[in-house]
Structure 1
């Protein structure tokens, strides 16, 4: 008869995610995972698969969290344009509060060129974010808050790809004032 797991799957997934987040995928070993999760190697394989499978599960879990946060931020807006701006400002708040760089951004730079599974997962997440912003920008045009001359798809693509630049600016320069200026500039490009 199979033994019942003596641990909470989601809790252990979060511990593994935090380890990958801290060390990166390549630098994280199975021994690191065994130590951090405080479960034996065979339990990791039985419950999560190999290191790559575990990483994909962690990344998927993180992406779901991001998308939930974006939708929650979007629901705060009084208008579609306001919702888009709130998402951007909430991301910047997260950049300033969180001591870790976005796991999706880290994974993009570490693995996207060499790991097709990670690339596809991150591309899907980016496309979901682009669709969210594009929908908000289309609605903002209908509401008269965004110029009809703007291409909502291109603008959405620009906004989503700008998030990596905001993280980059914070990491390199650690200048809160400059990060707010960059955010204001991004918002002014949307509104102009």
Structure 2
């Protein structure tokens, strides 16, 4: 008779994700994971697999949470430009208030170039964010909140690149004002 799993797998994935998020894939030991998940290593291997498989599941979980956040924002009653500005401001707050603000960016630099599955998950996450931004920018153009001379696809790509750059800049310089000023400059240029 199969043994019942003695832990909440979804919660365990959340705990493991937080450890990977803090320490990165290479900096996280199996012991770190099992301690955080409150399970032994045999339970991990029997239910999820090895560290690599757990990491893949954690990245999927993280990107699913991000996608749910984007969907929640789209359903907002705010105008497209207001949603976009709030998204930018929330990103700046996250970048400047947490040591490990974006697990996707951190993972892209650490693991994605070596692991095809991780790269594909992050690629899909980026595509979801890109579609979200394009939708908002196109809607803002239609509502005359953004000039119709703007290219929505270019603006979406540009903003995604800037967010990654702000993350890197904050890691190196720890200058929150610099990040906030760049964000406000972009918002000002966008809403001219």
TM surpasses 0.5: yes
Match of 2:25, SS state, is coil
Q: Does 1:64 align with 2:64?
A: yes
Q: Which runs of 5+ in 2 are unaligned?
A: none
CA contact (8 A) 2:15 2:37 kept: yes
Q: How far apart are the structure 2 equivalents of 1:22 and 1:152?
A: 34
Match of 2:26, SS state, is coil
Q: How far apart are the structure 1 equivalents of 2:164 and 2:15?
A: 24
Question: Could you tell me which residue of structure 1 aligns to residue 117 of structure 2?
Answer: 117
Comparing both chains, which one has the higher relative contact order based on Cα–Cα distances under 8 Å and sequence gaps of 6 or more? 2
CA contact (8 A) 1:77 1:86 kept: no
Q: How far apart are the structure 2 equivalents of 1:17 and 1:49?
A: 15
Kindly state the Cα deviation for residue 77 of structure 1 after the two structures are TM-superposed.
5.6
CA contact (8 A) 2:94 2:101 kept: no
Question: Could you tell me which residue of structure 2 aligns to residue 13 of structure 1?
Answer: 13
Question: Could you tell me which residue of structure 2 aligns to residue 185 of structure 1?
Answer: 185
Question: Could you tell me which residue of structure 2 aligns to residue 157 of structure 1?
Answer: 157
Kindly state the Cα deviation for residue 58 of structure 1 after the two structures are TM-superposed.
0.5
Q: Deviations over 1:152-192 (max 9, x none)?
A: 01111111121111212222222222221011122133234
Question: Could you tell me which residue of structure 1 aligns to residue 129 of structure 2?
Answer: 129
Q: How far apart are the structure 2 equivalents of 1:75 and 1:181?
A: 28
Question: Could you tell me which residue of structure 1 aligns to residue 86 of structure 2?
Answer: 86
CA contact (8 A) 1:74 1:87 kept: no
Q: How many residues align?
A: 192
Question: Could you tell me which residue of structure 2 aligns to residue 22 of structure 1?
Answer: 22
Question: Could you tell me which residue of structure 1 aligns to residue 146 of structure 2?
Answer: 146
Q: How far apart are the structure 2 equivalents of 1:72 and 1:151?
A: 25
- Structure 1 window deviating more from structure 2 (132-141 vs 37-46): it is 37-46
What TM-score do you get using the length of structure 2 for normalisation? Answer: 0.91
Kindly state the Cα deviation for residue 122 of structure 1 after the two structures are TM-superposed.
0.5
Q: Which runs of 5+ in 1 are unaligned?
A: none
Question: Could you tell me which residue of structure 2 aligns to residue 106 of structure 1?
Answer: 106
Question: Could you tell me which residue of structure 1 aligns to residue 4 of structure 2?
Answer: 4
Kindly state the Cα deviation for residue 92 of structure 1 after the two structures are TM-superposed.
1.3
CA contact (8 A) 2:111 2:118 kept: yes
- Structure 1 window deviating more from structure 2 (37-46 vs 79-88): it is 37-46
CA contact (8 A) 1:74 1:84 kept: no
What TM-score do you get using the length of structure 1 for normalisation? Answer: 0.91
Q: Deviations over 1:131-169 (max 9, x none)?
A: 111011111111111111111011111111211112122
